[in-house]
Structure 1
Amino acid sequence: MRLKVFRNKPFVIGKNPFEQTALYPSIDEFTQQLTGAITFPTTFQGERQRHAWERLISYIEFSDSPSAFNKAAAYAEGYAHALVDSGQINISPDRDLLIIATVDAWRCTRTYSNT
């Protein structure tokens, strides 16, 4: 099997070249990646920050339209930046890229009904 990308969506080509299987992570995998992107201290303040971060991730998870998804993702990314700006967490380009890449990949896998 080979991994290919077509229209910014990954898929696997099996032994039969006409057989394609999508490689989309589950919602749980996206939420786990985002939840683990920021390490919070085990203090009262750190616990409050962790709960706020998890709540923002749940807003992304349960958004019901592309605009709601984008708004929730912007709040989460803004919260991470606010934590850095206030000195609560250290600057980490790797963490920032992980958050951005995870949200973008999640955005690509979202489907919304027309009802």
Structure 2
Amino acid sequence: MYPFEQIALIPPTNDYAQRLSAAIPFPKTILGNRQHGAWQRLISVIKSSETLSAFDKAAAYIEGYAHALVDSDQIDISIERDVLIIETVDAWRCARVESNASPYLNHPGKP
């Protein structure tokens, strides 16, 4: 596979952000709007992370925020939503790693 073919297979960052954005349906209340705003800010931190370490930290905040909303009875428990968030973050992480990997670089320890 040529490098340009590999890049075409990686979904754009906005696709992952949209999936996360839609993962939690916030109520149309003052509190719901504040929670939605916080959720969007966390997603933007993931989008703007420049290193994998920063991405992982932002992803942990996303997952933690969702759990905090459940723990405080702000949203209902949903295994499907939790799995969607985890799968989206993991796929996004893998896409970042794959897009940053060069097929022309040797891996450490390999000729």
Q: Please, what TM-score do these two structures have when normalized by structure 1?
A: 0.78
Higher strand share: 1
Match of 1:76 in 2: 62
Q: 1:35 is aligned with what amino acid?
A: S
**Unaligned stretches of 5+ residues in structure 1:** 1-17
Cα distance between partner residues in 2 of 1:69 and 1:102: 13
The structure 1 residue matched to 2:29, chosen from 32, 35, 43, is 43
Match of 1:91 in 2: 77
Q: Please, what TM-score do these two structures have when normalized by structure 2?
A: 0.80
8 Å Cα contact 1:84/1:90 also seen in 2:
yes
Cα distance between partner residues in 2 of 1:46 and 1:19: 46
C-alpha root-mean-square deviation of aligned residues, in Å?
Answer: 1.9
Q: Does 1:101 align with 2:97?
A: no
Report Cα offsets for 1:20-57 as digits up to 9, x if no partner.
Answer: 94422111110000000000000000000000000000
Cα distance between partner residues in 2 of 1:66 and 1:59: 12
* Percent identity of equivalent pairs: 57
Q: 2:44 is aligned with what amino acid?
A: S
Higher relative contact order (CA 8 A, sep 6+): 2
Higher helix share: 2
8 Å Cα contact 1:35/1:53 also seen in 2:
yes
TM-superposed deviation, 1:101: 0.3
8 Å Cα contact 1:40/1:49 also seen in 2:
yes
The structure 1 residue matched to 2:49, chosen from 63, 85, 101, is 63
Spell out structure 1 runs of 4+ moving beyond 3 A. 18-22
**Unaligned stretches of 5+ residues in structure 2:** 102-111
8 Å Cα contact 1:64/1:112 also seen in 2:
no
TM-superposed deviation, 1:19: 7.3
Q: Does 1:29 align with 2:15?
A: yes
